[in-house]
Structure 1
Amino acid sequence: MTPTARVDRRSVVCPCISRDAPIAVMMTRGIPASSAAFRGSLYLQDRSGIGTCSRALHHGMSHLLFTPVTLPTPDGHGLEVGNRAFVAPMCQYAVDDTDGVPTDWHLSHLGALAAGGFGLVVAEATAVEARGRISPRDLGLWDHDQIPAHARLVDFIHGQGRAAGVQLAHAGGKASTWPMLPGFPGTTVPAAEGGWQTVSAVDGPVLPDLDPAEELTQEGIDRVVASFVEATRRADAADYDVVQIHAAHGYLIHQFLSPLTNTRTDGYGGELAGRSRLLREVVAAVRAVWPDSKPLGIRVSGTDWDEDGLQVEEVASVLRDLVAAGQVSWIDVSSGGLTDGSTIPVGPGYQVPLAVAVTEALAEEGLGEDAAVVSAVGLIEDALQAETVLATGQAHAVSVGRAALVNPHWAAKAAADLRVPRSELPRAPQFFRARF
């Protein structure tokens, strides 16, 4: 699509909509039709056949955000999630020791989000093996001793009537770093202070400030896949409803996917088929042991924000195959993680066009919401913005991150803003006196 007009980045405009010719027009960022990079300008995008508009949203006539959504499963029943406001997994760096065991902080953090009304609450990047932790203070599911504390989190989330997910991750060459908290450097933790040797697609540092990683051999790759499998079994033992494979933000699977960090010459490098091989192997192995009654999700970076890096068309192609095979039924589309100094058009909803590209690529193959739910993420900050993303068909759900840190009751507040009846607000009964 080509740019048609410049608008204020927070504006949403629409024509009068007739029953016979429903058209919604909304602001978003454009993806050039045949380009590997994103256009920086804003444009108005026509999305026809929707039957709603921002004018209706402003007047509280639509709250698609607070309708149930079903994450498909191989057994055909699916997992019904109470609403389409999901919590994006966010690292807390709150493990007391280096044992990967969830603490009271995690219970407080995730519990507040569940009580605050989010339909699906996803625990942060949880390492499948100790060397796969982003930092020494990350969560893990590499050991059976970690299961009870995870089960405690799940029990509370379920007690609020919400679905519980966990993001399984391996940081690869971005592992063994200091926590991303005030007062810590953005560098590798030295071995003398508890750091460890990292691994990646090839030898060398993934980013300039990190220590060199070692290239994974076939034996090492097999170990990674096996670690994802065993962590998945433990996630099931903890009673998580959803597993999300972390293939985004410059971590190990993304390091294999991206030509910026994968220059291998064997079957795991080269063209997209080789670079996506590790992802495909992990997905197939995890799906084989994850119960057929439970959905499997994936988080991807839709772009590296670099013309020489991973492009959204490539990502969409791989995802289309995984969905068509019945292996993945929830896709969360983020971006970046492998470049320093790239120009990223950060602003409200700046990653939504990536979700659009994936949604449309799936639709071209007849794969809709009944095959895979696509969630948009990236500075989704308020109810109207989220509702517009859904009502204009750009995604099936939204994942909220930083706004949920600001207000764990974001979902309940959003429901009130969209004029969901007070008696139906998604919140814990203990908060019934709260006025949003």
Structure 2
Amino acid sequence: MTATADAEAAANELTPLADYLGSVLRRLRALPPLDLDLTQAHGNVLAEDVVAPHAFPAFDQAAVDGYAARWEDISGGGRGPSYVPAPSGTPGGRSIRLNVVGDLGAASWRPVRLTPGSCFSVAAGAPLPVAADVVVPVEWTDQGMAAVEIFRTPKRGYGVRRAGEELPAGTLLARAGTYVSPALVAVFAATGIGHVVVRPSPRVVIVATGDELVDVGRGSQPGQVVDANSHALTAAAAEVGALAYRVGICDDDPEGLRGLLEDQTLRADLIITTGGTGTGPGDMVRRILSRREGGRAGPVTFTDVALYPGTALGFGTVGAEEVPVVCLPGDPGAALIGFEVLARPAIQLLAGAEPVFRPSVRAHLLETVSSPAGLREFRPAHVAERRGGGYTVQPLSGGPFTLSGLAEANGLLVLGERVTTAAAGSTVDVLLLDRRR
């Protein structure tokens, strides 16, 4: 049997990524909803539909600073206005004069009515007088105080916002599963909503494991590896919207690991570990968490998934509260890819967000690439929009294991299990990363 055939046979024993993700995500449920004050709801996901209890605008109001008038008065159809010569250069050669009978600001509340030949000076947001159906902008007038000359005639309804014009009462403002953005907060507030029911942001605890790990602030030495993973995964969890807590480094001590995870269940909705998921002599996480006790399987099941990089992933629950735990590989590149394909969707599901996966596009590949047989590869890449529509994707040098490539990437090129070579010019799938650049 050739080396290629050996590789394909080994890959056939792996669990397809789609099957594995489906089995994991089916075991998770969105967190119980909370009723939160509007100012605290930003960043969460709505747990139920939100309907406007009141109209917006709540009353007829001026949309611009100017003069609220009857359109028939300024259009020449009424009997009240007087016509006077207009300044040179004014279209039509004449202006209209109206009596200014009062001023209205945004805080005005007494109802007033227009009479023929009169108008009110109004500020943007001020309630409109009864019978007003147009607001003449200040710059179209001589800005008079007792009387005003109008040099241009706007269309009927100009400068006017009618009650409920934008959002009538009873309008569906947002559906369950919608992310509460700053703009949506404004919409809720404007229609009289002070509280909304949301899914809380998941509390995610990150633990790095391994006797070889040392904290940041120093260089790696033989027998020592700087813990990049827990810092990177904490940032990744926060980017998704989780409340992320970095516990730090846990040595490969069975009782220490069990005790640490048990303690963290008190403040976690999800625990992420990194390191020790393989089958080597130093892979203690897999050995400890998958150990059978009293005839029962361990709390975490480790699966060899058809994923490149990082085939070994773990998922299960720990503690009396059965808090979900995701176990990712120890290589930093594999840990970040594992987070993207497994931990990130789990966080999204707990948060009640839809969809749980990142958006993807089909892109024109700029460079021929090869991929391991039988594995679904996620490779750092740079994706760009093409003139005239569509996308191009450039794989970044170094492959999926390079941290520098991941740091530069704004997308992940996805090569399926049956793809061993993707030629330049072919069309491929790319996951879009929401990096802020």
- Give the structure with the larger helix fraction: 1
Which protein is bigger by CA-based radius of gyration? 2
Name the TM tier (shorter chain).
Answer: under 0.3
TM-score, scaled to structure 1:
0.27
